[in-house]
Structure formats: structure tokens, C-alpha cells
Amino acid sequence: MKVIIVEDYDKMSEVAADILAKQITEKPNTVLGLATGSTPIGMYKKLVEYYQNGKLNFSEIKSFNLDEYCGLPKDNVQSYWYFMHDNLFNHINIKSDNVNMFDGEENDAKKACEEYDMAIEKAGGIDLQILGCGHNGHIAFNEPSTEFSKSSHRVELQESTINANKRLFADVSQVPKTSYTMGIKNIMNAKKIVMLVSGEDKALTVHQAFNGPIVSTVPASVLQLHNDFTLVMDKAAASKYVK
């Protein structure tokens, strides 16, 4: 694994956006795996800037998002569909037909997940997967103790994840309790993976995931096994990481 430690959140966002920009320039029909959450917002801002300055063209790009809450309609401001359109898709020239996200309103989990896995396969697999990292080490919504062999599935969110995400809802009772997520198998099948981590509050998680053993109780630790994995983090997140 390659580790890049930078001064702060802004620099992390820039470094990540530049990795994406390079990938898109070299392969204009790149299949991107994308994440939501607070961490990639700065990177998305940069990508929009690059597009507006004529540096990037998304017209042939396909995207697959990692996850989506169950039960939220697309136009709900808390849905990941809304987040992605608000932060990225509405501001670039990606084709709406090329944007893939789980349908949070689909009650048939088997159908939703099988179709998603098939769509990824049909697109030729994910070229570059962007990841954030949960405080409990989750990647996408693969919570601690999820089997590494799982592909897309529906999950019950853990109390710690519900609590971490409640800041974005009016109150904790409104945070959905289940979500659709790519599995660790989908993530590990990506040709290239870039994880972004920022802040002191993730320092212990980074240490456990990347200085410790590969264990399902810290899902992000599995990334140590990927042959093209880059961890981009700021100094605060790296403060407990031992090189």
C-alpha cells in the first residue's frame, strides 16, 4: 500500500482530486466508485473546479456509488442520491444514464443487490474506487465483522454508525436503520482504491486498520491486501500511524 500524508483537509482533497483527474485524463471512460460522507466533499469541489476550468471531461465516465439508505426517496435531502447530485453530478457533464446508485426504495433486497452487482460487471468493473473510513473501521456500510467475501447486500446499521450520521438529520430517530451497500468483495475487485481520511478523531482507526492485523472487526484492514491501494490522509489522521 502507498501512504500519502499531507498537512490538512484541503491538501488531502487536492491530492485525491489530482489522482482522479489523472485517471480520467488517461482513461476518459473510467468507471468510478464513489463515496458520500463529509470526507470527500472537498475533493468533489476540486473536481467541479477542474471541470469548470476545462481541465476535465466526464462525458464518458460511469459511476457507481458505494451505498444508499433504505427507505429514503431520491429527492429526500438526506439520501445519498441527493448528496451526490448536490455535491458533484449537477455541476459536471456526467450523463445521468451513466450514474449508478442503489434504489433505496426497492424493498426486494435480492433484486436490488443482484442488479447492482451485474451492472458493475457489465460496465467492466470499477477502475478507481474512492473510500472514506468510519470511526469503527467500516468501509461503505460494511460494519465490523462483515464477511470479506460478501458482494452487494442490505445491512442493519450499527448504533455507532447511526450516532455518527445523526448530525445530518433532525434527530436520531430519523436516521434510517438499514442501507444497501457494496460488499467488501466489490470494493476489493476495484482495480485501484484510494481512501481519504481526515482528522484526529480517525487517528486510532487508521492505526488499527493499517498498523494492525487484517481482521473483520476492522473492515478497512482488508485494504492492506489490495495491490493498488493508496491511503491519503492529513497529519491529524496520521498522528497514531506508524510508518
Rounded CA Rg of the chain: 17
- Among residues 65, 67, 87, 165, which one is catalytic? 67
- Among residues 87, 98, 136, 186, which one is catalytic? 136
SS3 at position 10: helix
Residue 68 is a binding residue for ligand F6R (CB under 6 A): no
Residue 138 is a binding residue for ligand F6R (CB under 6 A): yes
Is 117 an active-site residue?
A: no
Residue 179 is a binding residue for ligand F6R (CB under 6 A): no
Residue 37 is a binding residue for ligand F6R (CB under 6 A): yes
79 within 8 A of 112, measured Cβ to Cβ: no
Could you tell me which stretch among 7-15, 36-44, 104-112, 115-123 binds ligand F6R (CB under 6 A)?
36-44
The H or E element spanning position 83 is: helix 80-87
CA-based torsion, 105, 111, 115, 116: positive or negative:
positive
C-alpha cell at 166: 445523526
168 within 8 A of 69, measured Cβ to Cβ: no
Is 143 an active-site residue?
A: yes
Residue 219 is a binding residue for ligand F6R (CB under 6 A): no
Q: Which of 19, 48, 67, 203 binds ligand F6R (CB under 6 A)?
A: 67
- Among residues 98, 117, 138, 165, which one is catalytic? 138
**DSSP letter string over 135-159?**
TTS-BTTB-TT--TT--SEEEEPPH
Per DSSP, 131 falls in state E
Could you tell me which stretch among 6-14, 90-98, 131-139, 233-241 binds ligand F6R (CB under 6 A)?
131-139
Residues that bind ligand F6R in the complex, under the rule CB under 6 A: 35-39, 66-67, 132-134, 138-140
Q: Which residues are catalytic?
A: 67, 136, 138, 143
